[in-house]
Amino acid sequence: MRISREEETFIGRGRPSLLGRMKVGFSKEGRITALDMFVISNNGSLRCAGRCSLIGRMVSLLYQPQAMRWRGVTVLTNTPPRSAQSAPGGLQGIVIIEPIIAKAARQLGLDQVAIRRINCPEGKAPFGPPLEGKLQHATSAFLKEALDRGAEQFPVEGKGGTHSEAERLEGARNWRLTEFLRRRHHRL
């Protein structure tokens, strides 16, 4: 959806946008051994609307890298003010790392769920930089259990995410319908 600057200002505030780069190192077993992350967050015309610092903390919590370097810059721009729409933007880092993890799983010949299970937090999982000389930690983390339940409820055969012929045909039908509707809407 495209709207003018005037309409965006009238409706409300925009979401702080994020531009990032990430390099990730994996062991042969799929464990994240090193992660280097740099992000730039567009705050619009007001200070501290984007939570650039949360992005690094959330990635370190959800993926538990053994070593991590995180850098972030928040910039002011001559655009409408930015504001959180549902929650602080810490989870935006997932959009950067997930395609990297999926590619690593394919290259290492690992199951997509298994590589995430190897790297997810459990118990009192540490995260972020030290605060007053101590590492912060989650009070509890049950992501492994959530991944296991999801794998049970949505089984996928084989390591490469192969689907049955019926599932592939259903996916192709859905894609064609979506593409048809997108093109029709675009013409209007």
pLDDT in tens, 87-102: 666 788 888 899 999 9
Instruction: Give the separation between CA 105 and CA 84, rounded to whole angstroms.
Output: 32
Q: How confident is the model at residue 13 (pLDDT cuts 50, 70, 90)?
A: confident
Q: Within 13 A of 106's CA, how many CA atoms are on the CB side?
A: 7
Q: Which residues contact 31 (CB under 8 A, 6 or more apart)?
A: 66, 118, 119
Beta-sheet pairing, 134-137 with 126-131: antiparallel
Name which of 138, 150, 59 is nearest 97 in CA terms.
59
pLDDT in tens, 34-69: 999 999 888 887 766 556 778 888 899 999 999 999
pTM of the model: 0.73
pLDDT in tens, 109-136: 999 999 999 999 998 999 988 889 998 9
Give the CA distances from residue 25 to residues 20, 125, 129, 134, in Å, rounded to whole numbers and listed in that order: 17, 20, 19, 26
In contact, 110 and 159? CB cutoff 8 Å: yes
